[in-house]
Chain A
Amino acid sequence: MTKRAGDERIADFNEVNEGISEQNAVLEALRCMDCVRPQCTKGCPVNIDISAFIRAIAEEDFKGAAAIIKKDNMLPAICGRVCPQENQCEGLCVLGKKEKPVRIGALERFVADREREAGMTLPEIMSPTGKRVAVVGSGPAGITAAAELARYGHSVTVFESLHEAGGVLTYGIPEFRLPKEIVKAEIEQILDMGVELKLNHIAGRTVSVEELLEFDAVFLGTGAGLPSFMGIEGENLSGVYSANEFLTRVNLMHANAFPEYDTPVMKGSRVAVVGGGNVAMDSARVSRRMGAEVYLIYRRREEDLPAREEEVHNAIEEGVEFICCANPVKILGGPAVTGIECVRMEMCDLDESGRPCPVPMKGDEAVFTLDVDVVIEAIGQSPNPLLVSLIEGLERGRRGNVIVDEHGLTSVDRIYAGGDIATGAATVIEAMGTARKAAVSINEMLMKK
């Protein structure tokens, strides 16, 4: 795949990764050994028939390849871009043992982009069942459940609280990793399948729980949208953002193009991003594109960064300065942010996740201050409580996630859940996988009656 140079990239929000050419796609497809027992498929949470679609590419049947993928995944242009393939399909590819694994994600993206340009074909829809299903949330989980249920012939209504569909795909992941035009096009498919999408509808408020239960079944895909804050002094100064707020202002509201768009954002001249995951990388890289010098503060070592390796590289290429083994203790300023005080961390015994436990170092030398005017906290999100806290009898786990059984069924009859609301913050494809499982169970339940 071709990638533009870091300093060129930060001049705009265009896609960083330009994809793979037709010629290279075919060559890459020819590397696949068409294994008898393909491991790659086991690594894919929706079990795409990977060797089959790759074979189709090798035969230059791109349309056929798209059809194979879309049997299991309606959002391939998205997944081909944002799946952490190295831990999933590509991580298990046998070729990875000796040389490089087949670039499954790049091939999936190629096929999907091709199909989108040529005109998308919709899956076959079974005859109407007369059953009505409510899907709450239009993130990857909600979209997948809706598509699957529509395919079975059920009448599906999706409720989304924001003015645009897509969940994190729309408000969280930046344009330069996932162009919004692609998100729109892939979501458009479910509308073409007859799914009704109701934007500006907050389940639990606009639509009451009782009204939801008037449907024959309910699928909850409300995601992990609740931002966590560190709880340190100075956190409510002007210029301190959750990553969710910062990214929403830019991705959903286009604050980077203020005043052409009405939503403002503090771009900052020196920005501190706190955290080490994908959300932190996205925040840092968005900040760079708005012209700020960016420090990324992470409490463990560089090798412990939970973000995808590729995104860490991208951030480094784009000039983000990493400050590892450090943790903020105080945000300075008033009323606006002027700095952030941090303490250096020492790595001690392994914790339950098998990683060394960061412990603050003692003494004055361990404390340092960075002059910054914006702080973005990207330290995690938990399940969105707005709706689920209103549903009587709905069991939730310690972290607020909705508890589901192996069929995606919650503790309340006819209410199913999938995606981040059930698993806690995870990945796009895992959200899709759990949503599909729930949709299959919903269908079985509805057809038994």
Chain B
Amino acid sequence: MGYKIEKATEIADNIFEFWINAPHITKNARAGQFVVIRINDSGERIPLTISETDGSLVRIVFMAVGKTTTYLSTLKSGDEIRDIAGPLGHPSEMGNFGNCVVIGGGVGIACLPILARELKAAGNNVTGIIGARNESLLLLKDELATHCDELVVCTDDGSYGFHGFPADILKKKLSDGEKIDCVWIIGPGIMMKITSMATIPYKVKTYVSLNPIMVDGTGMCGSCRVTIGGETKFACVDGPEFDAHLVDWDELMSRQRTYTAQEKESLKLFQDHQCSCGGDHHD
């Protein structure tokens, strides 16, 4: 009665790609939207971006960071998850804007393929800039290259491509006078905050996809509230994409830490249990 994982692969260090059979989601899914999944009856609801779709399959790409994503990473092709709801949130603003730059940091790169593909189909010239700490954490670069007119790959340590951050590349392009009409930045909060500062002086429309803690994802609880231009918004229904220059980043990042203590406890318990039962964890 659950939803089947058709294909599970570790595509980068601790980063996993799942193709899940969910025709109800793929039918109307667009770039910028996300799903909420629940692994089993005792599981929590967590949001994950729709990275791509293929027929009745939806792709999610996630990093194992805590209990739920670590548990998820132990599931194999053929296993099922209990629930997947979506597509949630507003699709990305779409149209022929001209020159678009899509920037991904870390696991945030996972959100770019569907976005780059749709932007390209809408007639835009698409530049991709992706960055990770090192080569082993880079993902989906070959796939992205097929959707982008130009793809720049960066690593913080220089183990692959440009030695530095996507923000450096973006700044360079802007100061060189390259015409950029629209920018998307998706990654960790701090990366989105810093990278989006580059476009302020040039007044380039810049979108970020915010990732506050969510529960229902349908606008019912208010857990995901963020402050945009001084106004409270619910990221799950009003976003998740917002104008980067209006986001209260410090509030977002501080709210993301609300459950740090519980999250640690939960992960430790899971890891201890996994050790004692020798690896695979099944309910």
Which residues from chain A sit less than 8 Å from chain B, CB to CB?
161-163, 171, 198-202, 205-208, 225-227, 229, 231, 235-236, 238-239, 241-242, 244-245, 248-249, 253-254, 258-264, 266, 334-336, 384-386
Q: How far is the CA of A391 from the CA of B137 in the complex (A)?
A: 43
17 sampled A-B residue pairs with Cβ under 8 A: A161-B216, A163-B45, A163-B82, A198-B24, A200-B86, A206-B86, A206-B87, A229-B222, A238-B255, A242-B222, A253-B215, A259-B262, A259-B265, A259-B266, A261-B43, A262-B43, A264-B44
Query: Across the interface, do B219 and A236 meet the contact criterion of CB distance under 8 Å?
Result: no
Query: Across the interface, do A238 and B254 meet the contact criterion of CB distance under 8 Å?
Result: yes
* B219 interface neighbour in A200, A262, A386, Cβ under 8 Å: A386
Residues of B within 8 A of A245 (CB): 215, 221-223
How many chain B residues sit at the interface, stated as a range, is: 35 or more
Q: How far is the CA of A208 from the CA of B219 in the complex (A)?
A: 17
Q: How far is the CA of A231 from the CA of B222 in the complex (A)?
A: 13
Interface of B: prevailing SS: mixed
Query: B246 contacts the other chain (Cβ, under 8 Å)?
Result: no
Query: Across the interface, do A239 and B258 meet the contact criterion of CB distance under 8 Å?
Result: yes
Query: Across the interface, do A236 and B215 meet the contact criterion of CB distance under 8 Å?
Result: no
Closest partner residue, chain A, to B38 (CB atom)? A163
Query: Across the interface, do B263 and A264 meet the contact criterion of CB distance under 8 Å?
Result: yes
Which residues from chain B sit less than 8 Å from chain A, CB to CB?
24-25, 27-28, 33, 38, 42-45, 67-68, 82-88, 215-216, 218-223, 225, 227, 232, 237, 251, 254-255, 257-259, 262-263, 265-266, 269
Query: Across the interface, do B88 and A236 meet the contact criterion of CB distance under 8 Å?
Result: no
Q: How far is the CA of A240 from the CA of B10 in the complex (A)?
A: 37
Residues of B within 8 A of A384 (CB): 218-220
Q: How far is the CA of A387 from the CA of B64 in the complex (A)?
A: 33
Q: How far is the CA of A58 from the CA of B257 in the complex (A)?
A: 59
Query: Across the interface, do A238 and B24 meet the contact criterion of CB distance under 8 Å?
Result: no
Query: Across the interface, do B218 and A161 meet the contact criterion of CB distance under 8 Å?
Result: yes
Q: How far is the CA of A200 from the CA of B266 in the complex (A)?
A: 26
Query: Across the interface, do A200 and B84 meet the contact criterion of CB distance under 8 Å?
Result: yes
Query: Across the interface, do B218 and A386 meet the contact criterion of CB distance under 8 Å?
Result: yes
Residues of B within 8 A of A261 (CB): 42-44
Residues of B within 8 A of A162 (CB): 85, 216, 218
Q: How far is the CA of A336 from the CA of B215 in the complex (A)?
A: 19
How many residue pairs between the two chains, A and B, have CB atoms under 8 Å in the bound complex?
Answer: 123
Interface of A: prevailing SS: loop
* A385 interface neighbour in B27, B219, B263, Cβ under 8 Å: B219
Residues of A within 8 A of B215 (CB): 245, 248-249, 253, 263
Q: How far is the CA of A231 from the CA of B259 in the complex (A)?
A: 24
Nearest CB of A to B37, in Å: 9
Q: How far is the CA of A205 from the CA of B50 in the complex (A)?
A: 14
Query: Across the interface, do A208 and B269 meet the contact criterion of CB distance under 8 Å?
Result: no
Query: Across the interface, do B45 and A253 meet the contact criterion of CB distance under 8 Å?
Result: yes
- Name which of B85, B222, B258 has the most chain A CB atoms within 10 A of its CB: B222
Nearest CB of B to A185, in Å: 18
Q: How far is the CA of A90 from the CA of B219 in the complex (A)?
A: 36
Residues of A within 8 A of B216 (CB): 161-162, 248
Query: Across the interface, do A200 and B44 meet the contact criterion of CB distance under 8 Å?
Result: no
Residues of B within 8 A of A236 (CB): 225, 227, 232, 251, 255
* A248 interface neighbour in B221, B227, B254, Cβ under 8 Å: B221
Please give me the 4 A-B residue pairs with the lowest Cβ-Cβ distance, nearest first.
A245-B221, A264-B262, A200-B85, A262-B44
Closest partner residue, chain B, to A260 (CB atom)? B42
Q: How far is the CA of A254 from the CA of B42 in the complex (A)?
A: 8
Query: Across the interface, do A199 and B83 meet the contact criterion of CB distance under 8 Å?
Result: yes
Nearest CB of A to B84, in Å: 6
A254-B42, A386-B219 known; A201 and B24 CB under 8 Å? yes
Q: How far is the CA of A225 from the CA of B42 in the complex (A)?
A: 24
Residues of A within 8 A of B67 (CB): 262
